Structure 1
Amino acid sequence: MRIPLWYAAVAGLMSLTVIGSAQAETTGYFHVEKRDGRWWLITPKGEPFLSKGVCAVRYAPDPILGTGPSLYGEANAKKYPSVKAWAEAKTSQLLAWDFNTLGAWYDEGMVFGKGDRLARTPILNIAADYARKHIEAGGGKKSAWEMGVFPDVFSPDFETFARERAHKVCTPQAQDSNILGWFIDNELRWGPDWRSQDELLVTFLNSSKEAPGRHAAIGMLQKRYKDIVAFNEVWKTGAASWAELVQGGEIKSPFPHREKSKQNEEIERVGDDSAGRRKLYVADCDAFLGLLAEQYFAVTQKAVREAAPHHMVFGCRFAYTPAKPVLEAAARHVDVISFNSYSTDPSGITENYATYGRPLIVGEFAFRAEDSGLPNTKGAGPKVANQKERAAAYEKYVRALVSNPSVVGYHWFKHVDEPAEGRFDGENSNYGLLKINDEPYEGFVEKVKECNGKADTWHANAPVTGRK
């Protein structure tokens, strides 16, 4: 029997003492345990595991502007005799750099047998693909992610779609012990952000009269106000009754509310009116987010757990810290809270997520160097001058991240650079471990390997004093 390489690497690197005196439970599948105040992923063999992954390990990613050729795919076709040969080479390369996990959006060709050379975190895109059906039905061309469309998760059709998607994708892999956990979606819009300034409550109130989500929103508001007059005073509407509100008519946001990443106490204080109506409006919006999140996480986690009961649910890769009710709902349903964090120091945001009591995994982070020759004009993440600074930024980020005892992994975005001409949404940045001709950024990946090799020790020594 061949020993999985990730298992051999972990077993050779550290002993069980890093998670305390108790032997970790052996379940035959990945799970999470907390030992001596620190969260760890635990392998099917019972060994501690910190997920060090790479997103988008694909043979032919990022066609130019979404429809042109994949320059990386063309380079691979010239260099490797087959896709299998490429996959073998990339697997060995990632392992040599001390990565142990395939992040989201990997090619199925990277999976060998049961995928025992690299652990995996597949992504289901349940909400995004459900929304896409409705976007395309209306003649739309962009993705739900680009448009920031949040689907009507109160619709029975959404529950059916979630169950069917999980059955189709998860059930065939339900016995695969090398799946760490399932990402449900990526960067859903939980309120005003770069895609839309609308609150989701306002969006749902303006959906069709028959929409279940619209009725859920109005039903919630009826419970929060003694009568329609009190509602009108806050929302600046002229509805004569709740029944009239149900029948339709455009409802506009009565007050401005900045996107979450730009909010702070002073901005909120200045924006509040003397009568306190804006605070009531914001509270309404947050309460609806809690209702929406509870429905979303309850439906999706149930679908995945029915289809793959041995696997963990990793949530929806938050693009930013959403409102408190959203995180409270997530913590009730997921095994690991996932979030993407493009910053130079993740300490603050990680500490905030940690207060919800679940282990954490970063689904994306990256730094872009100006000496790469790429435009770097579109895409998230800090820019640095050169690959040396990029390497230093990687070390600073990873060390700060895993020094939080709640963190169980981090996934770099991404495997290879984007084309200078731009991918489907125009992103044109130096995200890669590899150049688009398949050559590594040597100095950068040397530091990456060094940090990945130290990350387990850094996490084993994460301070836990004063924590629950």
Structure 2
Amino acid sequence: MIDNTSRREFIKRTAALGASLSAASLSQYALAAPTKTTQPEPDGFFTLGKRQDHWWLITPDGKPFFTMGLNHIDPASLRYPENIDIWREKYGGSTIRWIKESVSPNLREWGFNTVGWVQEVTVRKWRHSRAFTVDEYRALDMPYCHLLPFTESHQWEKHTVHYDFRSDDWKEWVDYVARSHCAELSDERNLIGYFYSDCPTWTHSRPDNEWRGPIFDPEQLKTEAGRKELTELAHSYYKTTHDAIRRYDKHHLILGDRYEAIAPIAMEVIDASKPYVDVLSFQDFRDPVKHLDEWHRKTGKPALLADAARMNWLTKPGEFTRNEGDWYARTLEALFKNPGCIGFHLCGAYQRNRARRYGLLDEQEKPDQENVALMKTANQEITAWMQQEFGQ
């Protein structure tokens, strides 16, 4: 709850937020109308709706929804030798208990309404941890998104070769991923939709993975033939992944690749994706408010800030940093005012580990009270406005 000293300011800011959104009339946002998506059977599941010029997620119950999520939730952070007693004695060594007794109550208390993406950094510049199982997601009992590992091209990962998106082997792998993940999740009402690769290196690379280069050589984009080749490659990738999902799941949204907004993004890739994804998703640690607005205006697609935060990145082993709550609050409010943005998922993590080196809880489960309080107030302001307008 909001304490008495901040209640008046909270009410004042919530009223101001509503006023800023209603320059014409707040009534124009009521009763968000469903719109066409890639979902053959969206009824009873999360979908998208547009009223006037504003995009919303629509809940299975038909109400507008702005997703405010936390990313990177991994129980291994409670299994260091120094804190494993908490894991064993408090949660009985059970991930299900930990989710029910720690993760879900804390996220709700902090005002988050979504789990954006659970997988977490394990070792810097290595692969992320595993996703939750369907039973673990059910233990959350709140909306979530799930990433499908069709390809491993994360811009920080330095070990994996690029997959050949035209090969029969990769297409067989895509079908395996879809029947392994989507068939199991297809009837889950709390699932918002599926991400693909995190920050794929379509036309860029990082120093640690220059040995493999980008998926497609950006020098070829200087010629018409090269641009045509990238269009065909990206079309094959997005059609293959889309068709595999829809063989096993006709209900959920496709959120697509989580592009790195501050790296080069070829329009050939974006244009090829548009018929096969419902949302354009981005990571952006520099200027997400500006960039998401630009991509929405450029494409007409709803946009999701799928991963962003502000903290000190230049930490060394043994050093820790804090996620800036005031930046989060300003960014969330600005994104909520963007008619093309459907949500913001914070690059958490839930609990810090020694690879990521930041999180809203420390290794002893003590919260970063100052920054969590700022995030909580910001989340509650959005929730209060949504409740006022849509009766949620």
TM-score normalized by structure 1?
0.63
Counterpart CA distance in 2 for 1:28 and 1:314 is: 18
User: What's the offset of the Cα at 1:300?
Assistant: 0.5
User: What's the offset of the Cα at 1:58?
Assistant: 2.0
Give, as a single letter, the amino acid of the residue that structure 1 aligns with 2:146.
P
Counterpart CA distance in 2 for 1:116 and 1:159 is: 32
Match of 1:124 among 136, 141, 148: 148
Report the structure number with the largest CA radius of gyration. 1
Residues 144, 342 of structure 1: alpha-carbon distance in 2 compared, 3 angstrom cutoff: closer
Counterpart CA distance in 1 for 2:133 and 2:88 is: 15
User: What's the offset of the Cα at 1:115?
Assistant: 5.5
Give, as a single letter, the amino acid of the residue that structure 1 aligns with 2:250.
P
**SS of 1:182 mapped into structure 2:** strand
Give, as a single letter, the amino acid of the residue that structure 2 aligns with 1:145.
E
The yes-or-no answer on 1:323 pairing with 2:336 is: no
Counterpart CA distance in 2 for 1:76 and 1:291 is: 49
**SS of 1:183 mapped into structure 2:** strand
The yes-or-no answer on 1:365 pairing with 2:308 is: yes
Match of 2:247 among 296, 306, 310: 306
User: What's the offset of the Cα at 1:49?
Assistant: 0.8
1:184 alignment counterpart? 196
1:56 alignment counterpart? 72
2:373 alignment counterpart? 446
User: What's the offset of the Cα at 1:291?
Assistant: 2.2
Counterpart CA distance in 2 for 1:391 and 1:451 is: 9
User: What's the offset of the Cα at 1:24?
Assistant: 5.5
Give, as a single letter, the amino acid of the residue that structure 1 aligns with 2:367.
P
Q: Which has the higher strand share?
A: 2
User: What's the offset of the Cα at 1:17?
Assistant: 5.2
Counterpart CA distance in 1 for 2:134 and 2:176 is: 25
User: What's the offset of the Cα at 1:94?
Assistant: 0.4
1:95 alignment counterpart? 108
Structure 1: where are the runs of 5+ without partners?
A: 1-13, 64-68, 132-141, 203-256, 258-277, 379-383, 461-468
Kept after mapping to 2: 8 A contact 1:102/1:119: yes
1:4 alignment counterpart? none
Give, as a single letter, the amino acid of the residue that structure 2 aligns with 1:126.
F
Counterpart CA distance in 2 for 1:70 and 1:118 is: 31
How many residue pairs get aligned? The number is: 337
Kept after mapping to 2: 8 A contact 1:402/1:458: no
Kept after mapping to 1: 8 A contact 2:194/2:254: yes
**SS of 1:333 mapped into structure 2:** coil
The yes-or-no answer on 1:403 pairing with 2:345 is: no
Give, as a single letter, the amino acid of the residue that structure 2 aligns with 1:353.
W
**SS of 2:49 mapped into structure 1:** strand
Counterpart CA distance in 2 for 1:284 and 1:70 is: 56
Give, as a single letter, the amino acid of the residue that structure 2 aligns with 1:154.
R
Q: Identity rate of aligned residues, in percent?
A: 23
Counterpart CA distance in 2 for 1:200 and 1:152 is: 9
Can you list the C-alpha shifts for 1:224-279, whole angstroms capped at 9, x where unaligned?
A: xxxxxxxxxxxxxxxxxxxxxxxxxxxxxxxxx7xxxxxxxxxxxxxxxxxxxx89
Can you list the C-alpha shifts for 1:22-58, whole angstroms capped at 9, x where unaligned?
A: 6659820110011121110001100111111111222
Counterpart CA distance in 1 for 2:91 and 2:168 is: 47
Map 1:138-149 → 2, pairs under 5 A:
145-147=157-159, 149=161
Residues 393, 305 of structure 1: alpha-carbon distance in 2 compared, 3 angstrom cutoff: same
User: What's the offset of the Cα at 1:125?
Assistant: 1.0
Residues 166, 36 of structure 1: alpha-carbon distance in 2 compared, 3 angstrom cutoff: same
Kept after mapping to 2: 8 A contact 1:401/1:407: yes
Counterpart CA distance in 1 for 2:384 and 2:289 is: 18
1:81 alignment counterpart? 92
User: What's the offset of the Cα at 1:458?
Assistant: 7.5
Residues 154, 397 of structure 1: alpha-carbon distance in 2 compared, 3 angstrom cutoff: same
The yes-or-no answer on 1:295 pairing with 2:266 is: no
User: What's the offset of the Cα at 1:101?
Assistant: 1.2
Can you list the C-alpha shifts for 1:272-315, whole angstroms capped at 9, x where unaligned?
A: xxxxxx89736554443322211111110111111111111110
Match of 2:175 among 155, 163, 167: 163
**SS of 1:40 mapped into structure 2:** strand
Give, as a single letter, the amino acid of the residue that structure 2 aligns with 1:40.
W
Kept after mapping to 2: 8 A contact 1:183/1:317: yes
Residues 404, 73 of structure 1: alpha-carbon distance in 2 compared, 3 angstrom cutoff: farther
Give, as a single letter, the amino acid of the residue that structure 2 aligns with 1:91.
S
TM-score normalized by structure 2?
0.75
User: What's the offset of the Cα at 1:157?
Assistant: 1.6
Kept after mapping to 1: 8 A contact 2:78/2:86: no
Counterpart CA distance in 1 for 2:189 and 2:378 is: 27
User: What's the offset of the Cα at 1:456?
Assistant: 5.3
Kept after mapping to 2: 8 A contact 1:305/1:311: no
Counterpart CA distance in 2 for 1:331 and 1:199 is: 21
Counterpart CA distance in 2 for 1:409 and 1:200 is: 28
Counterpart CA distance in 2 for 1:115 and 1:417 is: 18
User: What's the offset of the Cα at 1:415?
Assistant: 2.7
